Structures are given as structure tokens and as C-alpha cells.
């Protein structure tokens, strides 16, 4: 509760108490204005730079009995709509008219400032993902904030004077630069495509999707801590899967038009063995389940970028993504137990000396959904489809290891020029699973 007893407007008039709101993921000024409601009395507004002088409120108070006081301030985007509320990203902003969707959106938050002798002594802020720092400097960077983001924020307030309150707000929406309408015949997405960013920082991915000359976009992006940012509405076509060679799945091309794209902040690392975080898997599973329920997308219709890309030049989401984690949650393609009648002596099948069995496996790959145009024997298109399959089903916890427990070199793992018994049985099992859906 605000105690309005000792503050003297004349005594505090010289004090410049800047409260600066910054995008937690970029360090830049927030691109929307916030209405501020002080507990007890006082209504204010941030300026176009996301700043507010707390001194405005202190000057409005009269005398005070105690030298100390706890003050609460409720920050809410001026254009806040209940359509942005809740913990389900699949609903965020979907009912907001297109011409009213802003560049960014944040959740409302409560700032608590503990004052003593007209000076803030400590600060805290509500909502998971938000951070607040009192009197920030080069040495006080929190671990959750990258150096580039920290420096960008400090540069924006370097002339403000002390004390200062720097608030990093976790965005729930940042509008991508490029997207389009879905094809007129497509009413709702029917496929979910998982990607990884190929970089360690979400700020780099956001810049990639928001820069003026952007050529791609994504519906959702999941940070390392599991926080989700929406960038394109579900009803729109994000440019995430159709590369120079196009994309195909389940006999249909131009995957962008019937899919939802989800990026995960991740790079394989210098040794190619950098795992995704548990928080990312949890957030991804929850988001996929929400999207499937909202749009009636079948559980098995979850694939990776490398499954649909033509040609398959993408390690995306890559060798470290564990599809088995999604399978255990009932999502995506599966390879359940398969009672094989395949003859081990027929393997491996080599491209240079193919067997008749390859024709059967080609039909299985098509039945699963992989792009495989008609060709005679074990040609380049067949090898490419096998490579796509291996990129999906031999990644993560299924990735082969040598006798010393070291992971087999990825290029060797995904080689499409041969099929061993294990891969053939997995192809058969996946096809059987799809037929049962």
C-alpha cells in the first residue's frame, strides 16, 4: 500500500528517476506505449521511447510519516486486448482485427519499488520472463541477458542519470516482416513443421525475421528457457519451409500454405553435439498439442524442415533433435514395434547393387509422406528420400554410436546410398503407423 506522508515535492524536484522499458530479447526500446497506474492514485504513460520519470509520481505525493515506502505500479500496454491474455500462444492475438495488430505485444506487469529518503532501494517485477535492474551498469548484466542486448539497453539510457530502473519485458508477440495469405482453398493448417535457428541467440533470429529485406518468417519461436514468441498469426502463411527447391509432404507441395512453422533457438555447436533444453521440449510439446486441438491437426502430422525440404540440404532441426521425446508424448511420426519378415541376408542394400526390395521401400517412403518422384531402381531421388528419412529417425537418442560410445559422424549416418536392416524395418514400421491413423 502506498504511504503518502513524507514526500516533499520541493525536496525531490531535482531527482530524475528514469524507468526504462526495453525488449528483453533485443535490448531495444519497446515499440508500444504503456499506461501506468500507481497504487492508490496517479495515472501516467510511457513516452515514445518506452521511458517514464518516476519523479512525476513522487511530486504528486504530499507529506509522509515514514522515510520508507513500498510503491506498486501497474504497467499495461495501451492497446491491450483480452485476446492476448492467457498461457496458450496458439490463441494470442488471433481474434484481434488485422489492422489493429501492433508490431509488439507484452503482458501487463506490476513493478514494486521500495523507497527510502526519496531514493529507490530495491525493485521487483511480476510475470515470468521479465527482469528489472536498479542502477544498471556494465558489471551488473544478468546471466539471462546477452552482452549485445545489455549494451543496446545501456546505450539507450546512458544519458539518463542515476538512479535508474531498467525493465526488460518478455515479448509474447513480435510481428515478422514477411508473410502472406494462405491459398484460398486452405481454410486451416494441417501440418506442423519444426525448425531450429542454427544460432545460439534469439535476438539474431528475431532480427532475421524482422529486418527490412527479410525473405523468411515463422509462426512461433521458442527460446532456450522455453519462452515462446509469436511472430505470424495461425491464419497466415509464414515463409518457413519453401526454399529454392520448394517443399513437399504427403503428396502436396508448397508446404508453407498448409502448415504452422515453429523455430527453436539452437545451434549444433562446434562438435555437433549441442542438446536442446528440457524447457524447449516442454514448451514445444505444449504448443503443438494446443495447435492440434485448435486446428484439428492429426497427432502424426508433425515433421521437421528436413523432412519436407527439396532438396534436403537442411540439417533442420538437426542431428541433436530427439524426435523420440515427441513420440513419447504421442506426437509426430512413430516407429512402433514391427514384427519383421525381412531377410537379414538381403541387407545392406547398396545403390550400386540394388535389389527388388528397394521398390517396396520406395512405396513405403511415399506412403509415410516423403517426396519421391517416379524413377527406375535405386536412383538419386530414392537416395535423397532415404536421406530425409534418416535425418529424422536417426537423430537425437537414436543416433548411432561407435564401439567407444562416440557418436557416428552425421554425414555417414544420413548417407542415402545404402539401407541396412534396421533402417528398412523402421521404414516399414513408420508406414504401418501411418496406415493405422
Active site residues: 263
Cα gap 171→158, rounded to integer Å: 23
CB neighbour burial string for 306-324, b if at least 16 within 10 angstroms, e if fewer: bbbbbebebbbbbbbbbbb
Cα gap 233→394, rounded to integer Å: 32
Closest residue by Cα to residue 206 from 126, 103, 109: 103
| Long-range CB contact pairs, 180-184, < 8 A, 24+ | 180/236, 180/237, 180/239, 181/236, 181/237, 182/235, 182/236, 182/237, 182/257, 182/258, 183/237, 183/254, 183/257, 183/258
Closest residue by Cα to residue 39 from 65, 77, 1: 1
Q: What is the DSSP letter of 276?
A: P
Distance of CA 358 to the CA centre of its chain: 38
For strand 248-249 and strand 191-196, is the pairing parallel, antiparallel, or unpaired? Answer: unpaired
Q: Tell me the Cα Rg of the chain.
A: 27
Cβ of 413: how many Cβ atoms within 10 Å? 17
Q: What is the DSSP string of 288-307?
A: HHHHHHHHT--TT-EEEHHH
φ/ψ of 397, rounded to 5, equals -70, -10
Cβ of 215: how many Cβ atoms within 10 Å? 10
**Residue 227 burial (C-beta neighbours within 10 Å; 0-12, 13-18, 19+):** buried
First to last CA, the chain: 58
Cα gap 51→49, rounded to integer Å: 6
Cα gap 227→245, rounded to integer Å: 32
Given its phi and psi angles, is residue 249 left (phi above 0), alpha (psi -120 to 50 degrees) or beta?
beta
Distance of CA 316 to the CA centre of its chain: 14
Amino acid at each position: 500500500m502506498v504511504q503518502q506522508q513524507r514526500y516533499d515535492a520541493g525536496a525531490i524536484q531535482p531527482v530524475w528517476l528514469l524507468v526504462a522499458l526495453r525488449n528483453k530479447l533485443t535490448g531495444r526500446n519497446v515499440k508500444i506505449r504503456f499506461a501506468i497506474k500507481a497504487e492508490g492514485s496517479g495515472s501516467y504513460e510511457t513516452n515514445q521511447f518506452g521511458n517514464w520519470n518516476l519523479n512525476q509520481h513522487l511530486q504528486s505525493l504530499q507529506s509522509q510519516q515514514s522515510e520508507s515506502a513500498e510503491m506498486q505500479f501497474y504497467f499495461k500496454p495501451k492497446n491491450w486486448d483480452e485476446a492476448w491474455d492467457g498461457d496458450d500462444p496458439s490463441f494470442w492475438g488471433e481474434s484481434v482485427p488485422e489492422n489493429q495488430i501492433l508490431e509488439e505485444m507484452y503482458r501487463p506487469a506490476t513493478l514494486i519499488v521500495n523507497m527510502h529518503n526519496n531514493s529507490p532501494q530495491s525493485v521487483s517485477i511480476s510475470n515470468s520472463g521479465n527482469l528489472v535492474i536498479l542502477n544498471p551498469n556494465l558489471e551488473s548484466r544478468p546471466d539471462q541477458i546477452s552482452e549485445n542486448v545489455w549494451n543496446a539497453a545501456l546505450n539507450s539510457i546512458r544519458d539518463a542519470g542515476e538512479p535508474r530502473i531498467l525493465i526488460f519485458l518478455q515479448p509474447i508477440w513480435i510481428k515478422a516482416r514477411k508473410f502472406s495469405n494462405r491459398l484460398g482453398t486452405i481454410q486451416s493448417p494441417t501440418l506442423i513443421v519444426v525448425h531450429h535457428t542454427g544460432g545460439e541467440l534469439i535476438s539474431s533470429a528475431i532480427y532475421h525475421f524482422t529486418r527490412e529485406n527479410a525473405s523468411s518468417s515463422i509462426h512461433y519461436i521458442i527460446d532456450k528457457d522455453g519462452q515462446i514468441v509469436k511472430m505470424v498469426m495461425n491464419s497466415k502463411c509464414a515463409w518457413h519451409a519453401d526454399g529454392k527447391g520448394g517443399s513437399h509432404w504427403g503428396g502436396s507441395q508448397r508446404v508453407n500454405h498448409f502448415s504452422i512453422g515453429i523455430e527453436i533457438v539452437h545451434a549444433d555447436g562446434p562438435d555437433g553435439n549441442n542438446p536442446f533444453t528440457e524447457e524447449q521440449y516442454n514448451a514445444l510439446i505444449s504448443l503443438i498439442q494446443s495447435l492440434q486441438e485448435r486446428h484439428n491437426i492429426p497427432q502424426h502430422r508433425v515433421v521437421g524442415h528436413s523432412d519436407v525440404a527439396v532438396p534436403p540440404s537442411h540439417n533442420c532441426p538437426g542431428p541433436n533433435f530427439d524426435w523420440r521425446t515427441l513420440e513419447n508424448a504421442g506426437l509426430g511420426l512413430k516407429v512402433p514395434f514391427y514384427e519383421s519378415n525381412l531377410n537379414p541376408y538381403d541387407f545392406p542394400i547398396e545403390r550400386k547393387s540394388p535389389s527388388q526390395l528397394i521398390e517396396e521401400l520406395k512405396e513405403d517412403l511415399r506412403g509415410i509422406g516423403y517426396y519421391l518422384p517416379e524413377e527406375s531402381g535405386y536412383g538419386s531421388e530414392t537416395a535423397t528420400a532415404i536421406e530425409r528419412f534418416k535425418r529424422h529417425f536417426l537423430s537425437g537418442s537414436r543416433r548411432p554410436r561407435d564401439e567407444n560410445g562416440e557418436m557416428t559422424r552425421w554425414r555417414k549416418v544420413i548417407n542415402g546410398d545404402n539401407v541396412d536392416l534396421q533402417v528398412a524395418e523402421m521404414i516399414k514400421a513408420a508406414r504401418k503407423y501411418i496406415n493405422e491413423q
